[in-house]
Amino acid sequence: MSRLVMKFGGTSVADLERIRNVAARVKAEVEAGHHVAVVVSAMAGVTNQLVAWCRDACLLHDAREYDTVVATGEQVTVGLLALTLQDMGVPARSWLGWQLPIRTSSVHGSARIRSIETEGILKRFEMDGTVAVVAGFQGVADDGRITTLGRGGSDTSAVALAAALEAERCDIYTDVDGVYTTDPRIVPAARKIDKIAYEEMLELASQGAKVLQTRSVELAYVHKVRVQVRSSFSDAPGTLVCDEDEIVEQEVVSGIAYSKDEAKVTLTNVADVPGVAARIFGPLGDAAINVDMIVQNVSEDGERTDMTFTVPKSELERALNVVEKARDSIGFERIIKDTNVAKVSVIGIGMRSHTGVAKTMFETLAAKGINIQVISTSEIKISVLIAAEYTELAVRALHTAYGLDAA
């Protein structure tokens, strides 16, 4: 029998009625002849409450105890779903991260999965087809302590489990019915994408699209796990994330992503000498601060220049502190910060073989009077940094310019 992993997020298991809806979907897949493993998140709002309690109890809390607390949300959900499936006549058993076990690194709060032991699940599959109901978002470190994978980590749990089980597919059920060409709340004419390549989905996720967690797409790409994004609340076909060889006709541009979670930092009057970039970005990397866009202004005299880069807003104060501590070795004059910025990205694997994509982007933004502050590119992506108040205008204009609007 083929194996299938199904993942349900917090809104899908928000109450008992929705858990029964999830159980009915799982039962249908069992009756269709699949061996099924289900990965679930905590009920909607529960993790936020647990995080708030940790902060209220101790602002500078111990990360190990934080993981102990926030991992409990999924424990409730797996138990309730297993009970509901049993009530429907479907054999089911719950598994917590430490019970499989899902072995992770010991970086509490943002651990990475190293391996998943699936012998127990496979034995149950062969014995009586027992559905494995697995707690997402959590694992266990080498010292036996509970770890968590960071927000959105249940997607990563599901894809990793699908890879370990060599599943036919991993279905991610959410409150949307697939991946769209852009945010439908901004562009009502956005179209649902039937199939999208791993690389495109990875870029969309990393550039601000919220449908799938970035690390889960990375895992799917590496292990070639076919991922289908579907709605928990309808039977509409979803979006398949797969190898580009499965896509017959590739769009030049597949989607427009945006992120308002950006902050721009400029260091003025930096020495224009070899090694200065290492002295800036080395300490930031050591502090695990993700630097995204980087631009160095042209130095007229060949001696001093300005260096601009972006970091997540949530990391801005830490980044400023790290750079300030390295002031003597860097040798800058002052720091200028700007949180009133947004990143807008045009993404598509068709860009590899088509020219003029950048030209269209720049001309479209210019026609709307939108100034570009920073530009970065990759083989299948062009990103620009603009003033935050122009985000929606830019997304709508670009969506139309690339012919992505629904007919």
Domains of the chain, earliest start first: 3-175 (3.40.1160.10), 245-407 (3.30.2130.10)
Is residue 185 a known part of a binding site?
yes
Give all strands of the β-sheet with 255-271 in edge-to-edge order: 294-296, 304-312, 255-271, 335-347, 381-387, 374-378
Is residue 313 a known part of a binding site?
no
Is residue 142 a known part of a binding site?
no
Is residue 174 a known part of a binding site?
yes
* Integer Rg of the chain from CA: 23
CA distances from 381 to 204, 262, 302, 347 (A): 9, 17, 31, 5
Is residue 166 a known part of a binding site?
no
Is residue 255 a known part of a binding site?
no
Is residue 46 a known part of a binding site?
no
- Alpha carbon distance 394, 345 (integer Å): 10
Is residue 337 a known part of a binding site?
no
Confidence of residue 352 (pLDDT cuts 50, 70, 90): confident
What is the model's pLDDT at position 301? 67
The predicted-structure confidence for 186-238, as pLDDT tens digits, reads as follows: 999 999 999 999 999 998 888 767 778 888 999 999 999 999 999 988 888 89
Is residue 73 a known part of a binding site?
no
In the chain, the percentage of residues whose pLDDT exceeds 70 is: 98
What is the model's pLDDT at position 211? 79
What is the model's pLDDT at position 328? 86
Note if the bond before 101 is cis, omega within 30 degrees. yes
Question: pTM of the predicted model, to two decimals?
Answer: 0.85
The predicted-structure confidence for 88-101, as pLDDT tens digits, reads as follows: 999 999 999 999 99
Other C-beta atoms lying within 10 Å of the C-beta of residue 197? 22
For residues 344-373, average pLDDT: 92
Is residue 178 a known part of a binding site?
no
- Alpha carbon distance 225, 210 (integer Å): 19
CA distances from 251 to 31, 149, 204, 331 (A): 37, 34, 15, 46
Residue 283 token pair: 């300490």
Is residue 66 a known part of a binding site?
no
- Alpha carbon distance 199, 137 (integer Å): 23
